[in-house]
Structure 1
């Protein structure tokens, strides 16, 4: 599997890159994924030129290909004016123009750094809507690191939890593509510490699905008249 890290830090050294590396290391340790880091500061000029001429230079094209082909993403931005940086947004604008389905169904872990904890809402007010628009599957736990969080309690736990969620999604999708959906889901749940119920009586036969629909467990009807669609089936639909 391939895990791509997109870091929008501008300084060297960068707290944004530091957080990106810690998240990548935690996720890769659970999946044995090959990790690649894309430093947007090195692509800033090429991103600007792409807006004016419509063609990505070789280094930018290579980075866009890596993101598109990744099995999972870790994206980290510094906070500017209570939102993601312009460089961060510009990169994903270029990606969306090049291929509007590039992130469809792709697991993404969102993270940000800032000087104060007051900007932590950037995760839910800016980053999560952006990647929902791109039809990515954003893991439930986002990670924000303020200046006072480094070396303090809480940040390592948030990193581990978010990395576990990303690893579970990546493992589940990889298993589904390999035809071992049930085993992959069980392994993914085990990796996050989620308990599975003991096997019971064999389920009733599942009706044949309509042509063109992804194979998977049948939707489960709950009391009250609404239907629960298995998460794997939702991901498979997004991948189309």
Structure 2
């Protein structure tokens, strides 16, 4: 069974370090998912290509934009997301924030999200916890425990090994989330559906309730003492 992973990056240049980190994370997730006997389809979304549409969405009250609407649809139907932003003025970029401002309110509910950021100096590494994590928690996504921060010095130096370790650890968490979300839940649903109907779950998986015993039957044989 194939999963769908979207990689949202907010780099402004082409190529950009932000996009590179997104690609490395996606490659690591693909490897980890394959190691679990599954497949993942990766889609890349470069927010700089949507900059004009995002500006119009903010200033026109949300008039239809075919390109932006298609991206929203792709994200809403994904099984997981990698979100990478450059750090500007100690926080995520305006382009990054604008995109998630116009995203549908319930688009990320319950979705596993791997957060990552890039900057020129490691002094900005806390941006993962004081900016990105609260943003996606507010959107009710499932933010993975390990975030990935990459400073300029992490590339082409001895520190690159540490970055690779962080990437692999975060990728393993995403792979686990992607595989267990489908196999674990679907297996549980099928187990209940295979029973004689006493579970109370409807065919679409909504309304799982255990059998409810009548209160009078529970008290049968007791005199109240």
TM-score with structure 2 setting the length:
0.78
Query: Structure 1 pair 133/62, CA: closer, same or farther in 2 (3 Å)?
Result: same
Deviation (angstroms), 1:30? 2.3
In 2: Cα distance, 1:215 partner to 1:13 partner: 51
Post-superposition Cα deviations, 1:190-220, rounded to whole Å, max 9, x if no partner, equal xxxxxxxxxxxxxxxxxx789965479xxxx
| Deviation (angstroms), 1:13 | 1.4
Contact 1:9–1:40 (CA<8 Å) still a contact in 2? yes
Q: Are the equivalent residues in 1 in contact too, given 2:18–2:84 (CA < 8 A)?
A: yes
**Radius of gyration: which is bigger?**
2
Q: Secondary structure at the match of 1:33?
A: strand
Q: CA–CA distance in 2 between the matches of 1:215 and 1:25?
A: 40
Q: How does 1:27-106 map to 2 (within 5 A)?
A: 27-31=29-33, 32-53=39-60, 54-95=62-103, 99-106=104-111
1:135 aligns with 2:140: yes
Given that residues 112 and 144 in structure 2 are in contact (C-alpha distance below 8 angstroms), is that contact kept between their aligned partners in structure 1?
Answer: yes
Residues 58 and 8 of structure 1: CA distance in aligned 2, closer, same or farther (over 3 Å): same
Write the distance in 1 (CA, Å) between the matches of 2:70 and 2:200.
Answer: 39
Partner of 1:174: 182
**Runs of 4+ residues deviating >3 angstroms:** 208-216
Q: C-alpha distance in 2, partners of 1:176/1:65? A: 25
Q: Is the 8 A contact 1:172 1:181 kept in 2?
A: no
The aligned residue for residue 173 of structure 2 is 165
Aligned 8 A contact 1:112 1:143 in 2: yes
What is the CA distance between 1:175 and its match in structure 2?
A: 1.2
Whether the 8 Å CA contact 1:47–1:56 is kept in 2: the answer is: no
State whether residues 46 and 56 of structure 1, in contact with CA within 8 Å, keep that contact through their aligned partners in structure 2: no
Task: Say if 1:214 and 1:89 are closer, same or farther in 2 by CA, change over 3 A.
Answer: farther
Match of 2:15 in 1: 13
Structure 2: distance between partners of 1:48 and 1:2: 28
* 8 Å Cα contact 2:201/2:208 also seen in 1: no
Q: CA RMSD in A?
A: 2.1
The aligned length equals: 188
The CA deviation string for residues 150-207 of structure 1, in whole angstroms up to 9 with x for no partner, is 1322000100000110110111111144x2249xxxxxxxxxxxxxxxxxxxxxxxxx
Q: Structure 1-normalised TM-score? A: 0.74
Q: Sort the Cα spacing of 1:215 and 1:120 in 2 relative to 1 into closer, same or farther, 3 A.
A: farther
Structure 1 distance, partners of 2:182, 2:122, is 36
Q: How does 1:109-124 map to 2 (within 5 A)?
A: 109-124=114-129
